[in-house]
A and B are shown apart, each in its own frame.
Chain A
Protein backbone atom coordinates (compact mmCIF):
# COMPACT_ATOMS: atom_id res chain seq x y z
CA UNK A 1 0.00 0.00 0.00
CA UNK A 2 1.53 3.32 -0.97
CA UNK A 3 1.01 6.82 0.37
CA UNK A 4 -1.20 7.95 -2.50
CA UNK A 5 -3.50 4.99 -2.07
CA UNK A 6 -3.70 5.55 1.69
CA UNK A 7 -4.55 9.22 1.38
CA UNK A 8 -7.16 8.30 -1.22
CA UNK A 9 -8.77 5.88 1.24
CA UNK A 10 -8.56 8.45 4.02
CA UNK A 11 -10.23 11.12 1.86
CA UNK A 12 -13.24 8.83 1.48
CA UNK A 13 -13.75 8.75 5.24
CA UNK A 14 -14.72 12.15 6.52
CA UNK A 15 -17.18 13.32 9.14
CA UNK A 16 -19.43 16.22 8.47
CA UNK A 17 -18.15 19.19 10.43
CA UNK A 18 -21.53 21.01 10.11
CA UNK A 19 -19.73 24.25 9.27
CA UNK A 20 -22.84 26.09 8.02
CA UNK A 21 -24.85 25.17 11.12
CA UNK A 22 -21.98 26.16 13.41
CA UNK A 23 -21.57 29.50 11.61
CA UNK A 24 -25.30 30.22 11.93
CA UNK A 25 -25.34 29.39 15.66
CA UNK A 26 -22.22 31.54 16.15
CA UNK A 27 -23.88 34.42 14.29
CA UNK A 28 -27.04 34.19 16.39
CA UNK A 29 -25.29 33.76 19.74
CA UNK A 30 -22.82 36.57 19.12
CA UNK A 31 -25.74 38.74 17.98
CA UNK A 32 -27.63 37.99 21.18
CA UNK A 33 -24.54 38.81 23.19
CA UNK A 34 -24.18 42.11 21.33
CA UNK A 35 -27.85 43.02 21.85
CA UNK A 36 -27.62 42.31 25.59
CA UNK A 37 -24.42 44.37 25.68
CA UNK A 38 -26.17 47.27 23.97
CA UNK A 39 -29.14 47.08 26.39
CA UNK A 40 -26.79 47.07 29.36
CA UNK A 41 -24.84 49.95 27.86
CA UNK A 42 -28.02 51.98 27.33
CA UNK A 43 -29.11 51.38 30.91
CA UNK A 44 -25.68 52.29 32.28
CA UNK A 45 -25.70 55.52 30.26
CA UNK A 46 -28.49 56.75 32.53
CA UNK A 47 -26.02 56.83 35.42
CA UNK A 48 -22.60 57.20 33.74
CA UNK A 49 -20.98 59.11 30.89
CA UNK A 50 -20.96 57.40 27.47
CA UNK A 51 -17.29 56.48 27.74
CA UNK A 52 -17.56 55.03 31.24
CA UNK A 53 -20.73 53.11 30.40
CA UNK A 54 -18.89 51.42 27.51
CA UNK A 55 -15.99 50.42 29.74
CA UNK A 56 -18.33 49.09 32.42
CA UNK A 57 -20.23 47.00 29.86
CA UNK A 58 -17.00 45.37 28.67
CA UNK A 59 -15.90 44.77 32.27
CA UNK A 60 -19.24 43.16 33.03
CA UNK A 61 -18.85 40.66 30.19
CA UNK A 62 -15.24 39.89 31.11
CA UNK A 63 -16.32 39.30 34.72
CA UNK A 64 -19.29 37.11 33.79
CA UNK A 65 -17.18 35.00 31.37
CA UNK A 66 -14.52 34.45 34.05
CA UNK A 67 -17.15 33.49 36.65
CA UNK A 68 -18.83 31.08 34.23
CA UNK A 69 -15.42 29.56 33.40
CA UNK A 70 -14.74 28.99 37.08
CA UNK A 71 -18.13 27.36 37.53
CA UNK A 72 -17.44 25.01 34.60
CA UNK A 73 -20.35 26.37 32.56
CA UNK A 74 -18.53 28.44 29.95
CA UNK A 75 -16.96 25.54 28.04
CA UNK A 76 -20.32 23.82 27.81
CA UNK A 77 -21.93 26.96 26.37
CA UNK A 78 -18.97 27.50 24.02
CA UNK A 79 -19.34 23.96 22.68
CA UNK A 80 -22.59 25.08 21.07
CA UNK A 81 -21.98 28.78 20.50
CA UNK A 82 -18.44 28.32 19.11
CA UNK A 83 -17.13 31.51 17.57
CA UNK A 84 -20.16 33.34 18.99
CA UNK A 85 -18.49 33.28 22.39
CA UNK A 86 -14.89 32.91 21.21
CA UNK A 87 -14.55 36.08 19.13
CA UNK A 88 -16.12 38.62 21.56
CA UNK A 89 -14.23 39.78 24.65
CA UNK A 90 -15.73 36.81 26.55
CA UNK A 91 -13.38 34.49 24.62
CA UNK A 92 -10.36 36.45 25.79
CA UNK A 93 -11.56 36.36 29.37
CA UNK A 94 -12.13 32.60 29.14
CA UNK A 95 -8.65 32.02 27.65
CA UNK A 96 -7.07 33.80 30.62
CA UNK A 97 -9.22 32.32 33.37
CA UNK A 98 -9.15 28.76 32.03
CA UNK A 99 -5.34 28.84 31.75
CA UNK A 100 -5.06 30.26 35.26
CA UNK A 101 -7.42 27.64 36.69
CA UNK A 102 -5.61 24.80 34.97
CA UNK A 103 -2.26 25.80 36.40
CA UNK A 104 -3.30 26.80 39.92
CA UNK A 105 -1.75 23.66 41.47
CA UNK A 106 1.70 24.61 40.20
CA UNK A 107 1.62 27.69 42.40
CA UNK A 108 1.30 31.43 41.98
CA UNK A 109 4.58 32.03 40.13
CA UNK A 110 5.27 28.92 38.03
CA UNK A 111 1.60 28.09 37.66
CA UNK A 112 -0.82 30.97 37.34
CA UNK A 113 1.75 33.71 36.75
CA UNK A 114 3.62 32.12 33.89
CA UNK A 115 0.77 30.21 32.29
CA UNK A 116 -2.10 32.66 32.42
CA UNK A 117 -1.21 34.20 29.05
CA UNK A 118 -0.34 30.89 27.41
CA UNK A 119 -3.34 31.01 25.08
CA UNK A 120 -4.10 34.72 25.08
CA UNK A 121 -0.43 35.69 24.76
CA UNK A 122 -0.49 35.75 20.97
CA UNK A 123 -3.45 38.15 21.01
CA UNK A 124 -1.45 40.56 23.17
CA UNK A 125 1.85 40.10 21.28
CA UNK A 126 0.33 40.67 17.86
CA UNK A 127 -1.97 43.36 19.26
CA UNK A 128 1.14 45.31 20.27
CA UNK A 129 2.97 44.52 17.01
CA UNK A 130 0.06 45.65 14.88
CA UNK A 131 -0.43 48.77 17.06
CA UNK A 132 3.20 49.75 16.34
CA UNK A 133 2.85 49.12 12.60
CA UNK A 134 -0.44 51.01 12.26
CA UNK A 135 0.70 53.92 14.40
CA UNK A 136 3.77 54.27 12.16
CA UNK A 137 1.56 54.22 9.07
CA UNK A 138 -0.74 56.86 10.59
CA UNK A 139 2.29 58.97 11.51
CA UNK A 140 3.65 58.87 7.92
CA UNK A 141 0.26 59.58 6.41
CA UNK A 142 -0.12 62.65 8.63
CA UNK A 143 3.39 63.85 7.66
CA UNK A 144 2.41 63.89 3.99
Chain B
Protein backbone atom coordinates (compact mmCIF):
# COMPACT_ATOMS: atom_id res chain seq x y z
CA UNK B 1 0.00 0.00 0.00
CA UNK B 2 1.77 3.11 -1.16
CA UNK B 3 -1.23 5.39 -1.30
CA UNK B 4 -1.80 7.67 1.66
CA UNK B 5 -5.23 9.12 2.21
CA UNK B 6 -6.00 12.47 3.79
CA UNK B 7 -9.18 13.73 5.38
CA UNK B 8 -8.20 17.15 6.51
CA UNK B 9 -5.91 18.79 3.97
CA UNK B 10 -7.19 21.88 2.17
CA UNK B 11 -5.74 24.26 -0.36
CA UNK B 12 -5.54 27.72 1.14
CA UNK B 13 -3.95 29.62 -1.72
CA UNK B 14 -1.83 29.13 -4.80
CA UNK B 15 0.12 31.21 -7.26
CA UNK B 16 1.78 30.58 -10.61
CA UNK B 17 4.30 32.63 -12.56
CA UNK B 18 5.19 31.57 -16.09
CA UNK B 19 7.50 32.71 -18.86
CA UNK B 20 6.65 34.29 -22.19
CA UNK B 21 6.24 31.11 -24.23
CA UNK B 22 3.88 29.59 -21.64
CA UNK B 23 1.85 32.81 -21.52
CA UNK B 24 1.46 32.66 -25.30
CA UNK B 25 0.32 29.02 -25.06
CA UNK B 26 -3.27 27.82 -24.91
CA UNK B 27 -3.41 28.06 -21.10
CA UNK B 28 -1.89 31.56 -20.97
CA UNK B 29 -4.97 33.22 -19.50
CA UNK B 30 -5.07 30.81 -16.54
CA UNK B 31 -1.76 31.86 -15.02
CA UNK B 32 -1.53 34.58 -12.35
CA UNK B 33 1.58 36.35 -13.57
CA UNK B 34 4.09 36.11 -16.34
CA UNK B 35 7.48 37.49 -17.20
CA UNK B 36 8.84 38.30 -20.65
CA UNK B 37 12.38 38.74 -19.34
CA UNK B 38 14.14 35.39 -18.84
CA UNK B 39 16.58 37.15 -16.51
CA UNK B 40 13.94 38.84 -14.29
CA UNK B 41 16.43 41.69 -13.80
CA UNK B 42 18.96 39.26 -12.32
CA UNK B 43 22.52 38.64 -13.54
CA UNK B 44 22.08 34.95 -14.39
CA UNK B 45 19.41 32.39 -15.25
CA UNK B 46 19.87 30.51 -11.97
CA UNK B 47 19.36 33.71 -10.00
CA UNK B 48 16.36 34.49 -12.20
CA UNK B 49 14.83 31.17 -11.16
CA UNK B 50 15.35 32.03 -7.49
CA UNK B 51 13.75 35.45 -8.06
CA UNK B 52 10.80 33.86 -9.86
CA UNK B 53 10.28 31.57 -6.86
CA UNK B 54 10.59 34.51 -4.48
CA UNK B 55 7.87 36.48 -6.28
CA UNK B 56 5.66 33.42 -6.51
CA UNK B 57 6.01 32.40 -2.85
CA UNK B 58 5.47 35.98 -1.62
CA UNK B 59 2.26 36.33 -3.58
CA UNK B 60 1.02 32.89 -2.54
CA UNK B 61 1.54 33.71 1.15
CA UNK B 62 -0.14 37.09 0.70
CA UNK B 63 -3.13 35.48 -0.98
CA UNK B 64 -3.38 32.94 1.82
CA UNK B 65 -3.01 35.69 4.45
CA UNK B 66 -0.53 33.47 6.25
CA UNK B 67 2.06 35.35 8.23
CA UNK B 68 4.01 32.31 9.29
CA UNK B 69 4.52 28.95 7.67
CA UNK B 70 5.15 25.84 9.75
CA UNK B 71 7.05 23.84 7.17
CA UNK B 72 8.18 24.18 3.56
CA UNK B 73 8.79 21.51 0.92
CA UNK B 74 10.37 22.64 -2.32
CA UNK B 75 12.48 21.48 -5.20
CA UNK B 76 13.79 22.38 -8.63
CA UNK B 77 16.07 20.97 -11.30
CA UNK B 78 19.35 22.74 -10.62
CA UNK B 79 22.27 20.94 -8.96
CA UNK B 80 21.92 20.89 -5.17
CA UNK B 81 18.65 22.84 -5.58
CA UNK B 82 18.76 26.60 -6.06
CA UNK B 83 15.65 26.94 -3.85
CA UNK B 84 17.96 26.61 -0.84
CA UNK B 85 19.08 30.16 -1.54
CA UNK B 86 15.51 31.34 -1.14
CA UNK B 87 14.89 29.06 1.85
CA UNK B 88 17.26 31.06 4.06
CA UNK B 89 15.02 34.11 3.62
CA UNK B 90 11.78 32.29 4.38
CA UNK B 91 12.65 31.58 8.01
CA UNK B 92 10.74 28.34 8.37
CA UNK B 93 11.77 24.68 8.62
CA UNK B 94 12.66 23.66 5.11
CA UNK B 95 12.97 20.36 3.25
CA UNK B 96 14.44 20.37 -0.24
CA UNK B 97 13.20 17.51 -2.39
CA UNK B 98 14.48 16.21 -5.69
CA UNK B 99 12.26 14.12 -7.89
CA UNK B 100 13.19 15.89 -11.13
CA UNK B 101 9.96 16.82 -12.92
CA UNK B 102 7.86 14.85 -10.42
CA UNK B 103 8.64 17.52 -7.81
CA UNK B 104 5.17 19.05 -8.10
CA UNK B 105 3.30 16.00 -6.80
CA UNK B 106 6.19 15.09 -4.51
CA UNK B 107 6.22 18.44 -2.68
CA UNK B 108 2.43 18.78 -2.51
CA UNK B 109 2.12 15.18 -1.30
CA UNK B 110 4.68 15.71 1.44
CA UNK B 111 3.06 18.98 2.46
CA UNK B 112 -0.26 17.16 2.71
CA UNK B 113 1.34 14.51 4.91
CA UNK B 114 2.66 17.22 7.22
CA UNK B 115 -0.75 18.86 7.52
CA UNK B 116 -2.57 15.57 8.13
CA UNK B 117 -0.14 13.65 10.26
CA UNK B 118 2.10 16.27 11.86
CA UNK B 119 -0.95 18.47 12.54
CA UNK B 120 0.61 21.58 11.08
CA UNK B 121 -1.50 24.58 10.23
CA UNK B 122 0.23 26.05 7.19
CA UNK B 123 2.57 24.06 4.96
CA UNK B 124 3.98 25.52 1.78
CA UNK B 125 5.01 23.55 -1.30
CA UNK B 126 6.69 25.10 -4.31
CA UNK B 127 8.67 24.05 -7.35
CA UNK B 128 10.08 25.76 -10.37
CA UNK B 129 11.92 25.18 -13.60
CA UNK B 130 13.57 27.65 -15.92
CA UNK B 131 14.17 26.73 -19.53
CA UNK B 132 17.56 28.42 -19.95
CA UNK B 133 18.86 27.29 -16.55
CA UNK B 134 17.77 23.69 -17.27
CA UNK B 135 19.23 23.81 -20.75
CA UNK B 136 22.57 24.74 -19.26
CA UNK B 137 22.29 22.14 -16.51
CA UNK B 138 21.28 19.16 -18.64
CA UNK B 139 22.09 19.93 -22.25
CA UNK B 140 24.21 22.53 -24.03
CA UNK B 141 24.91 26.24 -23.64
CA UNK B 142 21.84 28.23 -24.64
CA UNK B 143 23.51 29.93 -27.59
CA UNK B 144 25.04 26.71 -28.92
CA UNK B 145 23.75 26.09 -32.43
CA UNK B 146 22.70 22.48 -32.35
CA UNK B 147 19.74 20.85 -34.01
CA UNK B 148 17.63 19.17 -31.34
CA UNK B 149 16.04 15.80 -31.93
CA UNK B 150 12.37 15.93 -32.82
CA UNK B 151 11.56 13.63 -29.88
CA UNK B 152 12.98 16.03 -27.28
CA UNK B 153 10.84 18.23 -25.03
CA UNK B 154 11.23 21.84 -24.06
CA UNK B 155 11.62 22.82 -20.39
CA UNK B 156 8.84 25.05 -19.10
CA UNK B 157 9.72 28.33 -17.39
CA UNK B 158 7.33 28.42 -14.48
CA UNK B 159 7.16 28.62 -10.75
CA UNK B 160 4.21 27.41 -8.72
CA UNK B 161 3.54 27.69 -5.00
CA UNK B 162 0.66 26.24 -3.02
CA UNK B 163 -0.21 26.72 0.63
CA UNK B 164 -1.93 23.79 2.29
CA UNK B 165 -3.78 24.10 5.53
CA UNK B 166 -6.11 22.22 7.88
CA UNK B 167 -8.69 25.02 7.62
CA UNK B 168 -11.65 24.20 5.41
CA UNK B 169 -11.62 25.56 1.85
CA UNK B 170 -13.10 24.71 -1.54
CA UNK B 171 -10.34 22.32 -2.64
CA UNK B 172 -8.76 19.45 -0.78
CA UNK B 173 -5.90 17.04 -1.29
CA UNK B 174 -7.28 13.57 -0.65
CA UNK B 175 -4.58 11.08 -1.53
CA UNK B 176 -0.93 10.77 -2.42
CA UNK B 177 0.58 7.76 -4.15
CA UNK B 178 4.33 7.54 -3.74
CA UNK B 179 5.73 5.96 -6.86
CA UNK B 180 8.52 3.45 -7.04
CA UNK B 181 11.48 4.08 -9.29
CA UNK B 182 11.47 2.02 -12.48
CA UNK B 183 14.21 1.46 -15.03
CA UNK B 184 13.24 -0.31 -18.21
CA UNK B 185 16.52 0.29 -20.02
CA UNK B 186 15.55 3.39 -21.95
CA UNK B 187 18.71 5.40 -22.35
CA UNK B 188 18.01 8.24 -24.78
CA UNK B 189 18.12 11.46 -22.74
CA UNK B 190 16.50 13.30 -25.63
CA UNK B 191 13.50 11.02 -25.39
CA UNK B 192 12.59 11.08 -21.71
CA UNK B 193 8.86 10.65 -22.34
CA UNK B 194 9.45 7.00 -23.20
CA UNK B 195 11.50 6.36 -20.09
CA UNK B 196 8.85 8.00 -17.88
CA UNK B 197 5.71 6.48 -19.41
CA UNK B 198 6.16 3.08 -17.66
CA UNK B 199 6.59 4.90 -14.32
CA UNK B 200 3.35 6.82 -14.89
CA UNK B 201 1.59 3.60 -15.83
CA UNK B 202 2.79 1.81 -12.73
CA UNK B 203 1.78 4.65 -10.40
CA UNK B 204 -1.68 4.94 -11.95
CA UNK B 205 -2.20 1.18 -11.59
CA UNK B 206 -0.95 1.20 -7.99
CA UNK B 207 -3.26 4.10 -7.19
CA UNK B 208 -6.26 2.31 -8.73
CA UNK B 209 -5.42 -0.91 -6.93
CA UNK B 210 -4.87 0.71 -3.54
CA UNK B 211 -8.10 2.68 -3.62
CA UNK B 212 -10.18 0.32 -5.73
CA UNK B 213 -10.80 3.00 -8.32
CA UNK B 214 -10.83 3.20 -12.12
CA UNK B 215 -10.99 5.98 -14.70
CA UNK B 216 -14.73 6.29 -13.93
CA UNK B 217 -13.92 7.77 -10.54
CA UNK B 218 -11.99 10.68 -12.04
CA UNK B 219 -12.90 13.57 -14.26
CA UNK B 220 -9.36 13.82 -15.51
CA UNK B 221 -6.05 12.07 -15.01
CA UNK B 222 -3.06 14.10 -16.15
CA UNK B 223 0.47 12.88 -16.49
CA UNK B 224 3.25 15.34 -15.72
CA UNK B 225 5.45 15.92 -18.73
CA UNK B 226 5.50 12.91 -21.01
CA UNK B 227 5.14 14.90 -24.20
CA UNK B 228 3.57 13.62 -27.39
CA UNK B 229 5.44 10.30 -27.65
CA UNK B 230 5.38 9.36 -23.98
CA UNK B 231 1.69 10.18 -23.81
CA UNK B 232 0.92 7.97 -26.81
CA UNK B 233 2.91 5.18 -25.22
CA UNK B 234 1.11 5.55 -21.87
CA UNK B 235 -2.29 5.54 -23.59
CA UNK B 236 -1.43 2.33 -25.37
CA UNK B 237 -0.21 0.68 -22.17
CA UNK B 238 -3.37 1.64 -20.29
CA UNK B 239 -5.64 0.45 -23.09
CA UNK B 240 -3.72 -2.82 -23.12
CA UNK B 241 -4.58 -3.22 -19.44
CA UNK B 242 -8.24 -3.06 -20.56
CA UNK B 243 -9.11 0.32 -19.15
CA UNK B 244 -11.41 2.66 -21.01
CA UNK B 245 -9.76 6.07 -21.31
CA UNK B 246 -12.86 7.99 -22.51
CA UNK B 247 -10.83 11.16 -23.03
CA UNK B 248 -9.99 11.22 -19.35
CA UNK B 249 -6.24 11.03 -19.82
CA UNK B 250 -4.13 14.03 -20.76
CA UNK B 251 -0.62 15.30 -20.35
CA UNK B 252 0.49 18.65 -18.87
CA UNK B 253 3.37 18.86 -21.35
CA UNK B 254 0.91 18.75 -24.23
CA UNK B 255 -1.66 21.03 -22.56
CA UNK B 256 0.68 23.90 -21.70
CA UNK B 257 1.90 24.52 -25.27
CA UNK B 258 0.33 24.53 -28.68
CA UNK B 259 2.66 21.81 -29.93
CA UNK B 260 1.63 22.26 -33.54
CA UNK B 261 2.44 25.95 -33.70
CA UNK B 262 4.90 26.67 -30.91
CA UNK B 263 8.50 25.59 -31.32
CA UNK B 264 8.58 23.07 -28.47
CA UNK B 265 9.13 19.73 -30.24
CA UNK B 266 7.11 17.07 -28.37
CA UNK B 267 5.78 19.35 -25.61
CA UNK B 268 6.78 20.81 -22.28
CA UNK B 269 8.75 19.28 -19.43
CA UNK B 270 10.25 20.32 -16.11
CA UNK B 271 8.80 20.61 -12.61
CA UNK B 272 7.18 23.91 -13.48
CA UNK B 273 5.14 22.24 -16.19
CA UNK B 274 2.89 20.02 -14.10
CA UNK B 275 2.81 22.55 -11.25
CA UNK B 276 1.67 25.41 -13.50
CA UNK B 277 -0.99 23.31 -15.24
CA UNK B 278 -2.28 21.95 -11.92
CA UNK B 279 -2.40 25.25 -10.03
CA UNK B 280 -3.33 27.41 -13.00
CA UNK B 281 -5.72 25.42 -15.11
CA UNK B 282 -6.93 22.39 -13.15
CA UNK B 283 -7.59 24.17 -9.84
CA UNK B 284 -9.72 26.72 -11.70
CA UNK B 285 -11.62 23.95 -13.47
CA UNK B 286 -12.30 22.27 -10.14
CA UNK B 287 -13.47 25.53 -8.58
CA UNK B 288 -15.71 26.37 -11.51
CA UNK B 289 -17.37 22.96 -11.02
CA UNK B 290 -16.29 21.68 -14.41
CA UNK B 291 -14.62 18.83 -12.59
CA UNK B 292 -14.99 17.14 -9.23
CA UNK B 293 -11.93 14.96 -8.80
CA UNK B 294 -8.62 14.87 -10.64
CA UNK B 295 -5.40 12.93 -10.40
CA UNK B 296 -2.02 14.43 -11.22
CA UNK B 297 0.62 11.83 -12.02
CA UNK B 298 3.81 13.89 -12.08
CA UNK B 299 6.59 12.02 -13.85
CA UNK B 300 10.29 12.52 -13.32
CA UNK B 301 13.32 11.35 -15.22
CA UNK B 302 15.95 10.81 -12.56
CA UNK B 303 18.98 10.59 -14.78
CA UNK B 304 22.38 11.86 -13.79
CA UNK B 305 24.33 13.50 -16.61
CA UNK B 306 27.57 11.68 -15.70
CA UNK B 307 25.92 8.28 -15.42
CA UNK B 308 24.05 8.56 -18.70
CA UNK B 309 27.38 9.42 -20.32
CA UNK B 310 28.68 6.23 -18.71
CA UNK B 311 25.98 4.47 -20.74
CA UNK B 312 23.62 3.71 -17.87
CA UNK B 313 19.90 3.89 -18.58
CA UNK B 314 17.38 6.38 -17.18
CA UNK B 315 15.59 5.57 -13.91
CA UNK B 316 12.24 7.29 -13.67
CA UNK B 317 9.51 7.83 -11.14
CA UNK B 318 5.94 9.09 -10.98
CA UNK B 319 4.07 10.35 -7.94
CA UNK B 320 0.33 10.93 -7.92
CA UNK B 321 -1.83 13.33 -5.98
CA UNK B 322 -5.59 13.42 -6.01
CA UNK B 323 -7.33 16.79 -5.67
CA UNK B 324 -11.07 17.10 -5.06
CA UNK B 325 -13.65 19.79 -4.67
CA UNK B 326 -14.81 19.84 -1.04
Q: Which residues of A contact B (CB under 8 A)?
A: 1, 3, 6-7, 9-10, 12-18, 22, 69-70, 72, 74-75, 77-79, 82-83, 85-86, 91, 94-95, 97-99, 101-102, 105, 119
Contacts and interface: CB of A to CB of B under 8 A. Distances in A.
Contacts of B145: 69, 74-75, 77-79, 85-86, 91, 94, 98
Given A9-B237, A105-B43, A15 B141 contact: no
26 contacts: A1-B237, A1-B240, A3-B184, A7-B185, A9-B236, A9-B237, A12-B236, A13-B194, A13-B232, A13-B236, A15-B228, A17-B149, A17-B150, A17-B151, A22-B147, A74-B145, A75-B142, A78-B145, A86-B145, A91-B145, A94-B144, A98-B141, A99-B141, A102-B143, A105-B44, A119-B141
Contact of B143 (A9, A91, A97): A97
Contact of A1 (B140, B143, B198): B198
For chain A, what secondary structure do more than half of its interface residues adopt (helix, strand, loop), or is it mixed? helix
Contacts of A72: 143
Which of A1, A3, A74, A86 has the most C-beta atoms of chain B within 10 angstroms of its own C-beta? Answer: A1
Interface in B143-199: 143-151, 184-186, 194, 197-198
Interface of B: 43-44, 136, 140-151, 184-186, 194, 197-198, 201, 228-229, 232-233, 236-237, 240, 266
B229 to A, nearest CB: 5
A77 B143 CA distance: 11
Nearest to A16: B150
Contact of B229 (A13, A22, A86): A13
Contact of A10 (B43, B148, B194): B194
Contact of B147 (A1, A12, A79): A79
A74 B143 contact: yes
The 7 closest A-B pairs by CB, nearest first: A78-B145, A102-B141, A98-B143, A98-B141, A82-B147, A98-B144, A105-B44
A94 B146 CA distance: 10
A6 B183 CA distance: 11
B147 A13 contact: no
B147 A75 contact: no
For chain B, what secondary structure do more than half of its interface residues adopt (helix, strand, loop), or is it mixed? loop
A51 B266 CA distance: 48
Given A82-B147, A83-B147, 4 more contacts: A1-B198, A7-B185, A10-B197, A79-B148
Given A3-B184, A10-B194, A15 B143 contact: no
Given A1-B198, A6-B184, A18-B150, A75 B143 contact: yes
Contacts of B198: 1, 6
Which of B136, B141, B233 has the most C-beta atoms of chain A within 10 angstroms of its own C-beta? Answer: B141
Nearest to A71: B143
Nearest to A12: B236
A82 B147 CA distance: 5
B51 to A, nearest CB: 14
B142 A15 contact: no
A98 B139 CA distance: 13
A119 B150 contact: no
A135 B232 CA distance: 54
A69 B145 CA distance: 8
B181 to A, nearest CB: 15
A79 to B, nearest CB: 6
A9 B150 contact: no
B184 A15 contact: no
A79 B233 CA distance: 27
A12 B233 CA distance: 8
B233 A75 contact: no
A16 B151 CA distance: 8
Nearest to B151: A15
Contact of A75 (B144, B201, B229): B144
